[in-house]
């Protein structure tokens, strides 16, 4: 890839503007989950070690260009200071004077960028104001890289720019999984609706050897093949689209895997009465809520035969037992193979991360992306403005 990393930059004595994602959950003015803060620590520490002064920039929530006190990043500073192990200077108001007063080795945090309408407008003037504060630009917020905002795109063109450690890890993992993978490659795509992942499916059939379709999405494909799915979640109006994807996969030599047995119930609730049936025997008054054990065994064999796995979306209604079986079992198999050095596994997306954590499998995956929209757009083959700006 054409982007630079911290190792390519001279940071000694430089003010280093670092775009981070610390859009963390808060309750009563306190951070309740520090995961996103934890992930920026390597970049901040490496900048300090290289003699630079880190100036952190981020957004929080959707204030829509206005000052909203409860969305101030001042609320995040105590947790930030604790995790970084030193005080973080919070800067609101006059950026220039406050930044000029910083001493080498200090860490600063600018106020919520989205308080200024120029941020989301990708305004050159606002980007110029930010650029005047530093000597080097570092983007460590892959999760915001799909947005063409002042701090992710325009600013990157005004200063020497590079990827931070988190961005570097994310791009390297995705590049290795999709652009230059060790084959065979299997992709698992699940979730409720085909309509939300049409671009993803269309891109993957030309990139992977095996495509596993699960969750409510699988019902749409089953129905498109003439299989009765009863009262299951299904986008019947997308039957032609599903058949088109199946044809494209066949032409590209990509094998599509759909459930061969199903778990059905009449109620959508935890512990609901359920039964396991062949895929073509769903009762008219029942819903398909998970893939069955035979399907899982077949997937486990696919995983064993492949060298690279990309995962986005659960295989069933993973939030409520017993309909979490297929997702949990497949995730644990992928984790076992990864731990044994037999599989490179990359996963991303909110439901995916929750499902893998629920299966106690996340820690053994090669890489877990928490980026959500950016991860999905990358998988769809789209250009991410924040990444393209680093390559320019």
Q: 348-379 pLDDT, tens per residue?
A: 987 888 899 999 999 999 999 878 788 888 88
**113: three-class secondary structure by DSSP:** helix
Mean pLDDT of 20-43: 92
146 is in an annotated binding site: no
Query: What are the residue boundaries of the structural domains of the chain, listed by start?
Result: 6-165, 181-379
21 is in an annotated binding site: yes
Give the pLDDT of residue 286. Answer: 98
Give the pLDDT of residue 242. Answer: 96
DSSP-derived pairing of the beta strands 287-291 and 30-31: unpaired
Give the largest CA-CA distance in the chain.
72
Question: What is the C-alpha separation between 228 and 201, in angstroms, rounded?
Answer: 23
Tens of pLDDT, residues 263-283: 999 999 999 999 999 999 999
Mean pLDDT of 123-146: 96
CA–chain centroid gap for 384, Å, is 13
| Same fold for the pair 6-165 and 181-379 | yes
pLDDT at 79 over 70: yes
243 is in an annotated binding site: no
pLDDT at 392 over 70: no
CB 150 within 8 A of CB 127: yes
Tens of pLDDT, residues 32-48: 989 899 999 999 999 99
pLDDT at 205 over 60: yes
Tokens (6 digits) for 347: 């996963």
CB 238 within 8 A of CB 291: no
Tens of pLDDT, residues 327-350: 999 999 999 999 999 999 999 987
Give the pLDDT of residue 29. Answer: 84
CB 347 within 8 A of CB 356: yes
Give the pLDDT of residue 175. Answer: 87
pLDDT at 191 over 80: yes
Give the number of other Cβ atoms within 10 Å of residue 356's Cβ: 27
Q: Does domain 181-379 have CATH number 3.40.50.1260?
A: yes
CB 359 within 8 A of CB 325: no
% of the chain residues with pLDDT over 70: 99
Question: What is the C-alpha separation between 330 and 343, in angstroms, rounded?
Answer: 13
Mean pLDDT of 54-72: 95
- What's the whole-model pTM score? 0.87
Mean pLDDT of the chain: 94
Low-confidence winner among 16-25, 309-318, 373-382 (lowest mean pLDDT): 373-382
pLDDT at 1 over 70: no
190 is in an annotated binding site: no
What's the angle, vertex CA 60, arms to CA 58 and CA 62, rounded to 5? 125
367 is in an annotated binding site: no
Tens of pLDDT, residues 237-250: 999 999 999 999 99
Give the pLDDT of residue 178. Answer: 82
8 is in an annotated binding site: no
DSSP-derived pairing of the beta strands 274-278 and 261-265: antiparallel
Q: Topology of domain 6-165, per CATH?
A: Rossmann fold (3.40.50)
Tokens (6 digits) for 228: 């009765």
Residues taking part in catalysis? 36, 193, 350, 373
pLDDT at 131 over 60: yes
The helix (run of H) or strand (run of E) holding residue 274 is strand 274-278
């Amino acid at each position: 890839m054409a982007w630079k990393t911290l190792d390519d930059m001279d940071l000694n004595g430089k003010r280093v503007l670092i775009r981070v994602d610390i859009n963390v959950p808060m309750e009563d003015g306190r951070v309740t989950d520090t995961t996103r803060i934890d992930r920026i620590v390597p970049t901040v520490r490496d900048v300090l070690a290289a003699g630079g002064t880190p100036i952190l920039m981020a957004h929080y929530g959707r204030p829509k260009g206005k000052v909203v006190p409860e969305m101030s990043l001042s609320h995040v500073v105590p947790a930030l200071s604790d995790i970084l192990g030193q005080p973080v200077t919070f800067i609101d108001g006059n950026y220039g004077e406050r930044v000029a007063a910083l001493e080498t080795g200090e860490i600063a945090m600018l106020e919520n960028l989205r308080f200024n309408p120029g941020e989301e407008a990708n305004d050159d003037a606002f980007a110029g104001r930010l650029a005047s504060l530093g000597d080097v630009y570092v983007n460590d917020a892959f999760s915001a890289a799909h947005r063409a905002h002042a701090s992710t795109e325009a600013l990157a063109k005004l200063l020497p720019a590079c990827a931070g450690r988190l961005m570097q890890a994310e791009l390297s993992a995705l590049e290795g999984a999709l652009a230059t993978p060790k084959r065979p490659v299997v992709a698992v795509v699940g979730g409720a609706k085909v309509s939300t992942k049409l671009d993803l499916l269309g891109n993957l059939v030309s990139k992977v050897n095996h495509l596993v379709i699960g969750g409510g999405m699988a019902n749409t494909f089953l129905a498109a093949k003439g299989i009765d799915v009863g009262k299951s979640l299904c986008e019947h109006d997308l039957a032609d689209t599903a058949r088109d994807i199946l044809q494209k996969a066949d032409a590209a030599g990509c094998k599509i895997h759909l459930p061969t047995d199903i778990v059905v119930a009449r109620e959508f609730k935890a512990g609901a009465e359920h039964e396991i049936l062949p895929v073509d025997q769903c009762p008219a008054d029942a819903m398909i809520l998970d893939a069955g054990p035979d399907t899982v065994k077949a997937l486990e064999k696919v995983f064993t035969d492949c060298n690279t796995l990309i995962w986005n979306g659960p295989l069933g209604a993973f939030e409520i037992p017993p309909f979490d079986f297929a997702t949990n079992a497949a995730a644990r198999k992928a984790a076992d193979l990864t731990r044994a050095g037999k599989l490179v596994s990359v996963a991303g997306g909110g439901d995916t991360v929750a499902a893998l954590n629920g299966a106690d499998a996340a820690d053994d995956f090669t890489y877990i992306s928490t980026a959500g929209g950016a991860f999905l757009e990358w998988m769809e083959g789209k250009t991410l403005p924040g990444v393209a700006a680093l390559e320019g």
